[in-house]
Structure 1
Amino acid sequence: MLHLIHPALSRAAALEPRRLRHDALVAAAVAVALALAVNGTVSATLATAAENAAAQPQAQQFAAASVAVPPTVRDDFTVDVRPPLVYPVGAGAPIGSSFGLRPSTCAGCPSVHKGVDWTPGYGAPVVAMADGVVSLIGNPGSALGTHLEISHVIDGRSVTSVYAHLVAGSIPWALGDRVRVGDLVGNVGTTGVTVGAHLHFELRVDGVTIDPVPWLRANGAQ
């Protein structure tokens, strides 16, 4: 083993064994001390490096946040397209009495009929024939019973439509209300002077009472 520490020690071992043993132990002790010193220096260096590394500011890591984007909210809307003119109780409603001269059908019933009587049945809905403004509301005790008048301007002309003999309390409008074509104005009833449930409908154009049926047909009522 002495030859591993130093070659000279191996040669001297044969001459002075005791001295050589002593010197070898001293050399070994020095070598161990040096090794420990070196290891301590390395450990200290590594420790210092570790501390310095820990003290260095670390790069910030950003995680991509998942942001939920709400769906586009749109207001609900409907397209309300209506024809300019409609029949008050539908184009196919039966006619009980036409416009003009007629035999008197009851006491108090005039022989000159100023409108047309449609008979779709009691309680059938009655609608405004065109856009307009409610200009009169009559009471059940009158000859026309519960009725209303609507004023219109059609093709630049003043037109008034009259809806009579309605069910009492069925008119959902007040004087001066604006209505649209097709809006409900009441229900077919028997109020006023009548022999049965029907809608008495009158039409005045520029103040002149006319037959409603040909006028509605000529103006494309639906």
Structure 2
Amino acid sequence: MITGVALPALNPGADPVSAAEGVSVTTAASVETQSYSSTDEIRAEIAPRGNFSATTPQEIEETRSKAVAAAISAGMPLASAVDIPIADEVVMPMAAGTYSFTDSFGASRPGRSHLGQDFAAPVGTPIRAAMDGCVSRSTESYQGYGVTIQIESVLDGRSVSTVYSHMVNGSRAVEVGDCVKAGDYLADVGSTGYVFGSCLHFEVHVDSTPIDPMPWLSANVK
């Protein structure tokens, strides 16, 4: 029987930003990435989209990459540089039969509670995007969370940020600014960061507020 208990010993939630303010946030995941350095909070902000003057596919991609790099380095939300897609479906972050549930949302942690749901699975089990979105975090070293990817999406008119952690070093298939479809491969289950056993630590933040992923998945996965 595979077991996995995530123990990220940090307070993820400095000051997340959202498109629709009015939600009080006490926790959200913090991170220092390798690919950029801006602020330390998990952000799920929907902001005005960037405008590109390039015309050829190569020019468009080059301009887009520069816009993403400039926005992130200036501490701006990803949505200020790229279109955040509107998701029309939600899938489980791992295929049926490849995992078992371990620590759930709200489990006790030193000084705080667990902010996600753990999916215990063997090292190397594929992890996939829960919905269409664009990558705002992609790092090999995320403090207690280990190898982590964060994806920004819009679902039912609300900003949704999904976080995938404890993955295998070197398995990340996406970088900041990349946009993915629901079900796209992201990385492999690992045991990086503060964790006993191998598992995917999966978080969902709606309008910057961390919520229990299980009721959200039950309500949205068709």
Aligned to 1:68: none
1:143–1:121 Cα change, 3 Å: same
CA–CA separation in structure 1 for the residues paired with 2:95 and 2:156: 22
Whether the 8 Å contact between 1:89 and 1:120 is mirrored in structure 2 is: no
1:171-196 deviations in Å (ceiling 9; x for gaps) = 11111001000000000001111111
CA–CA separation in structure 2 for the residues paired with 1:157 and 1:125: 27
What aligned pairs does 1:57-96 form with structure 2 within 5 A after superposition? 84-92=89-97, 93-96=99-102
CA–CA separation in structure 1 for the residues paired with 2:154 and 2:136: 13
CA–CA separation in structure 2 for the residues paired with 1:120 and 1:100: 21
Whether the 8 Å contact between 2:88 and 2:155 is mirrored in structure 1 is: no
CA–CA separation in structure 2 for the residues paired with 1:214 and 1:111: 21
Aligned to 2:178: 177
Aligned residue identity for 1:99: F
- Structure 1 runs of 4+ aligned residues shifted over 2 Å read 90-93, 138-141
CA RMSD for the aligned pairs? 1.9
Structure 1 residue 188 corresponds to structure 2 residue 189: yes
What aligned pairs does 1:1-222 form with structure 2 within 5 A after superposition? 84-92=89-97, 93-102=99-108, 104=109, 112-140=113-141, 142-219=143-220, 221-222=221-222
CA–CA separation in structure 2 for the residues paired with 1:94 and 1:110: 26
After TM superposition, the score normalised by the length of structure 1 is: 0.57
Offset at residue 140 of structure 1 (A): 2.8
Aligned length: 135
1:138–1:99 Cα change, 3 Å: same
Higher Cα Rg: structure 1 or 2?
1
More helix by share: 1
Report the identity percentage: 41
After TM superposition, the score normalised by the length of structure 2 is: 0.57
Whether the 8 Å contact between 1:141 and 1:191 is mirrored in structure 2 is: no
CA–CA separation in structure 1 for the residues paired with 2:160 and 2:216: 11
